[in-house]
Structure 1
């Protein structure tokens, strides 16, 4: 995939996301959507996030594999499809729920700003990991040897970009106070766990004792929470 295609793909995804949010809320009341500072800030963060991904992160940094050995990990297409559908659904349901005060979470503005913080933190991890992976991939190619990534964002969790993605998924429905959207976001994240499990088996086979030592002292997906 060329850099031009990468930019087109990233911004196409952004257009779809904004279209879903605006359509779900209703084009007849976009002023209402933008009236709350948390919702406005979320939209600006989403825009900034995709601009950074599309314009500033090199092509190699968007690959989900962090080592050549991990390129053997194949997607479970059914789980990937269900996850994608879940993402589309919570992007549609969350704004609708907020505007029509339907199945809303209690917590008010406090919960909205918690969601905004989670989105910002998640986006930071995704961008940081992407930059770091691109840098390390160049080192791997120059040395023609695989290297286990344990520094940078990988010091906090073994799968920092997945961690960031989950925070993004959860943060969006929280900003809109959507209980159903939050449930769908959590279910959409479940597919990541299945892929992570397969990826870690390959890493264990590749790096053996080095991986075992790293996995022993670094949490899988959430800092300070042992998921395996």
Structure 2
């Protein structure tokens, strides 16, 4: 299992370099930032930490429960999902180009991106990241990894809500039409 996790960690490192390296060039100035995301994500993080502390205090053995058997198959599935998820996210990052930011913001001259993976799902970077998180959880196989996956889903849900609010404010009818055309926020053709 250790080798699988090392491969997954290396994939994440390469992805993070790809994600952030272009931001070292001169970035576009922010036109508007969302404070909603920062406040709500902090609340989600606090609730998650409180939940883990409560569980550990009352039932410490629960955190050691294995959900997925420790096997080569689980490791291979984890690696495949990580590659697929991070690849999908990288494709989305490429299409966002200079408008990408780790924070929820609209940049000067921002335009609505509806090309590439954005034709299939409105938040393809998050779709890919969640697929990669699921891959890591399967490879790790223990309950805390799946708890972290649920926390990741909640955090991304908060960020999507903040982004949709700011995009609607900036692009109005154009964004509403995009939401009608691409109904899926996370899972293509579903949700």
Report the count of equivalent residues: 171
Counterpart CA distance in 1 for 2:79 and 2:127 is: 16
Listed as ranges, the matches of 1:134-149 within 5 Å are: 134-135=97-98, 145-149=109-113
Counterpart CA distance in 1 for 2:190 and 2:24 is: 30
Does the aligned pair in 2 maintain the 1:118–1:171 contact within 8 Å?
A: yes
Listed as ranges, the matches of 1:155-194 within 5 Å are: 155-194=119-158
Aligned counterpart, 2:103: none
The gaps in structure 2 that reach 5 residues or longer are 54-60, 101-105
The gaps in structure 1 that reach 5 residues or longer are 1-31, 90-96
Instruction: For residue 216 of structure 1, report the CA deviation from its aligned partner.
Output: 1.3
Instruction: For residue 129 of structure 1, report the CA deviation from its aligned partner.
Output: 2.3
Aligned counterpart, 2:6: 43
1:33 maps onto 2:19 in alignment:
no
Aligned counterpart, 2:159: 195
| Structure 1 counterpart of 2:84, from 118, 121, 145 | 121
Distance 1:48 1:107, change over 3 A: closer
Does the aligned pair in 2 maintain the 1:68–1:146 contact within 8 Å?
A: no
| Structure 1 counterpart of 2:179, from 215, 221, 225 | 215
Does the aligned pair in 1 maintain the 2:85–2:130 contact within 8 Å?
A: yes
Counterpart CA distance in 1 for 2:29 and 2:111 is: 7
Instruction: For residue 107 of structure 1, report the CA deviation from its aligned partner.
Output: 8.8
CA offsets 1:90-133 (integer angstroms, 9 cap, x no match): xxxxxxx9xxx842325954444332222111111222222322
TM-score under structure 1 length normalisation: 0.59
TM-score under structure 2 length normalisation: 0.69
Larger RCO: 1 or 2 (CA < 8 Å, sep 6+)? 2
* Greater share of residues in helix: 1
Counterpart CA distance in 1 for 2:2 and 2:10 is: 15
Instruction: For residue 145 of structure 1, report the CA deviation from its aligned partner.
Output: 2.8
1:130 maps onto 2:99 in alignment:
no
Distance 1:67 1:216, change over 3 A: farther
Does the aligned pair in 2 maintain the 1:159–1:221 contact within 8 Å?
A: yes
RMSD: 3.8
Does the aligned pair in 2 maintain the 1:169–1:189 contact within 8 Å?
A: no
Counterpart CA distance in 2 for 1:51 and 1:135 is: 19
Aligned counterpart, 2:33: 71
Counterpart CA distance in 2 for 1:48 and 1:111 is: 17
